[in-house]
Structure 1
Amino acid sequence: MLKEEPYTKYIKVQRACSYSHDNMSMLLDIIKGANEGLLVVGAIQAEDEIWAALQLVKHLSWPTVPDILSGLRLRRQLTSHNGIEHNILFLDHLDHALLSGSVKSWLKPDVVVQIGGRVTSKRVSQFLELCSPNSYIFVDKHPYRHDPSHLITHRLQCSIIEFADIMLAKEFPERVRTSNTILREINAMFFHCFREFFSSKIF
């Protein structure tokens, strides 16, 4: 049976705190109800949006995939919080971890939120397509559609700063996830492997 309603729901934020409360409440309920949420941060150029993205990452406390063009790979220079790596989980090396078939088959986010531009990593993009989350929320200030794989279920038209402001005003339940511990160990393993490899090279 064909669905009569469009696959992707569009929500427009014209100004901060100016949006359809019904649609936004639905979106917030999806995010709050996520069992295995994943935050994807695509390309970001403006420094204020990078900072807003970092605040969102800290507040949401989901495993976060920072694209190489997101600006969050330099987060130690962006924040004075020395313990930031202990509070949130950045999957800097997911691209390499996905070379493992077991990681690809095990990691199954049910809700994905993507902010910023397109994801540079082809491997991460293919993973997001294959994992088929129940909800894929895409935040972009431009109205132009770019969803060749038809992944996006909800498209929120606003800036990263506006989205972060909305999210920071809400409380989200803290959940102890075994998967986070495993993901942290996988990410740390690749970090140490790369550090040892490059430290052994003589330039």
Structure 2
Amino acid sequence: MIESLVNLAALSRTGQAAGGVPKAMGGHDTIVQVPTADPISHFLAAGILMADWIEPGQAAPAFTLKDDSGTKVKLSDLKGNPVLVYFYPRDDTPGCTREACAFRDRYDELKKLGVQLFGVSGDTAESHQKFREKFSLPFPLLVDSDHAMSEKYGAYREKNMYGKKSMGIQRSTYLIDAQGKVAKVWKRVTVDGHDQKVIEAVHQLESE
């Protein structure tokens, strides 16, 4: 069964796919509006393939992205310690702020456990810098402006907000072990209590 995650690499680069799906630009986020009653069938008919979540035990997809300071972050350079990557929709919005601040408040604990923490969204480096400064976030935020990394990890997918379907980053988190394999994935994250679940998973990873 094919899940409803559409890989829109072509859309995010050209702004239009076969079948005439428009690309709408709004604020910091890029959302592709889906004007059909059955969007998945529309994209399948257009010949756009779908990606899926990376499941535990699979190798984490390679990535090289710049963070908010312009420093390149490469997954292969992070081997040897656990990596925590969380995808979020947009800087300085209520849910994303609560999530970031929860990780901020547990950052020292995560650091003692050897975890390297990164937030990822489609926002610009400038937006990330302002977000970090405003809330004193001690960890880097990666710039995924074309959603390439989000697509690889299955985080860029169809969302339904008040009955309106669109494509965007789904709040999700990946815990990657020291060897570069996915140890745990949280799909469609609920912010409250998420930081505790992550800490517990890191402790479990250490005991294995």
- Shorter-chain TM range is 0.3 to 0.5
Task: Tell me which protein shows more helix as a share of its residues.
Answer: 1
TM, length-normalised to structure 2: 0.33
**Structure number with higher strand proportion:** 2
The TM-score with structure 1 as length reference comes to 0.33
